[in-house]
Structure 1
Amino acid sequence: MEKNQSPARVACVQMDIEQGQVEKNLATARRMIGEACAQGATLMVLPELFNTGCVFDNRAQVFAVAEPVPGGKSTALLLEMAKAHGVYIVASLVEQEGPDLFNTAVLAGPEGLVGKFRKLHPCEDEVYWIEPGNLGLPVFHTPIGRIGLLVCLDAYYPETFRILAMQGADVICVPFNAGDVKKSRHLPDPYYTMASTLCMANALSNHVLVVGTDRVGKTGSVRFAGQSVIADQWGAPIAGPAHNDREEILYADVDLCDSRRKYFHPTNSRLANRRTDVYSADLGYCPEKYRKQ
């Protein structure tokens, strides 16, 4: 039965992903999604490229694991689980459309494929195999609230959160593959990545709930940082950051409509008090351009 109330149990599904082992990763996802559903999760977010991992040596390897969206087996799993449990699931995978590849976040719901978002900002070697996203920054209206999607490096650009917030997003879901940079960046305890900090800062700046899910594990010399987090509209981590070295599911019970109470203080609303005489109200974004696609 579809859950249609704004109070929701939100979950970060922090997985250990085996590079290129699609069937094993889908089995892990099925198990952990099932566990989250058993605990009453309404909206859950899996990591970036949850079915394949993200460390590729060449373009041919990426094509070998790419899938159409919808139509591929990975999206089919998300749709099956979402329908069976009456929940909403966000996950990122490699989408193939003709000769082009995209890093695509899928939003599956009880009613089927709610929508998808293609990562706007390819990261490091990703520029050699994916195309920059061409679907804009959509906000999807669902019975549990308005859901915006980003993927990993998109979260390093504050414009993305602001544009989604200006379109009325109640929650912004961000699948990550953030590496452990504690030694190279000399991060203080307890931080292994800045991803969780970005989620908290942008939640505060835009008065919007942010759910950021990273992966754990290691591929070659790359170790992933975990530390998934759920940040409320005041930037507080209401769940997490999670551990950096184990699979884990975080839960937070929230009222998604709280994000719409953006004018909670007459002199200190981040969105209401923007100086649009100094900078543009919409950051130059043209949603009409992308609604035609």
Structure 2
Amino acid sequence: MARTQNSFVLEGVKIEGAYSEESVLATKNFQGRESDIHLTSYPRTGTAWTQNVLVGMVYGLDLLDGLDHSKMRPLFPYLEMKYMDGLSGLELANQITRVPRMVKNHLPPHLAPQEIFSLQRKNVVIARNPKDTALSYFKFYQTNPNLMKFYTSNGLEDFLDKFLEGDVAYGSWWIWTKNWIDKCRAHPENHLLIHYEDLHLNFHQTAQKLVQFLNLPPMSEESIAALQSKTSVDNMKSRYEQDPKRKGIINKGELHGWRKDFPEGFAEQFDQLTIETFGKEYAITQKFI
């Protein structure tokens, strides 16, 4: 069954891909369960990696063996997505019997499931350096079947201009990230901010934070090391790319790849906007510049 890719603006946010206004608004009004775990991320900030980490942590390391994109879909659905077979992420979520159930979205706070706030659902939020995010997004627009038809940029410089303006799917990284960080700082009891960079540099510490936040049984250092191995970029690529159509979902997973690929002058523009949004000291501590 062919699915429709749409481009629209909803409540100030540009949406492009296999979504509809109805699927996004239904996600906003999602009626979940007390034990639900939400994963919230801007695109290309480590969503698949964090999903794999959470699956191994919550459901067991053995479940990661052979876990590819098609098996992840019903296990950890993407709420606002309309899938190829006509099902929505919401419909898949309602079929899950596991406890706790885990679901993800890419939406800003005002479009995300509102019960995250009203009923204080556990919510893990991912942040990543905007320069690396933009570079990964540029590649994703060119390779992802849901976005390729919307790729209108004339090369990397043109795309980076669009990214700076927020003229990409899910809108401005700066607005999105600032608004979610504000939620995490105001309500740490049910929002945990983690950083893509820390999954690289401080995996064990980040895993322990997740375990504590989600009230899971303690994990030994040996178990965390096994989790890190099973969720490495090479491991995930080997699992996901058994299906040739899934190439590109797991990228290189590099840190600071922008340093060799960014055109002259763009790093300064990104850093200026980041400092204006967060302040210099906070931007540095969050690894945003």
Whether the TM-score (by the shorter chain) exceeds 0.5 is: no
Larger relative contact order, structure 1 or 2 (CA cutoff 8 Å, min sep 6): 2
Larger helix fraction of residues: 2
Q: TM-score, normalised by structure 1?
A: 0.28
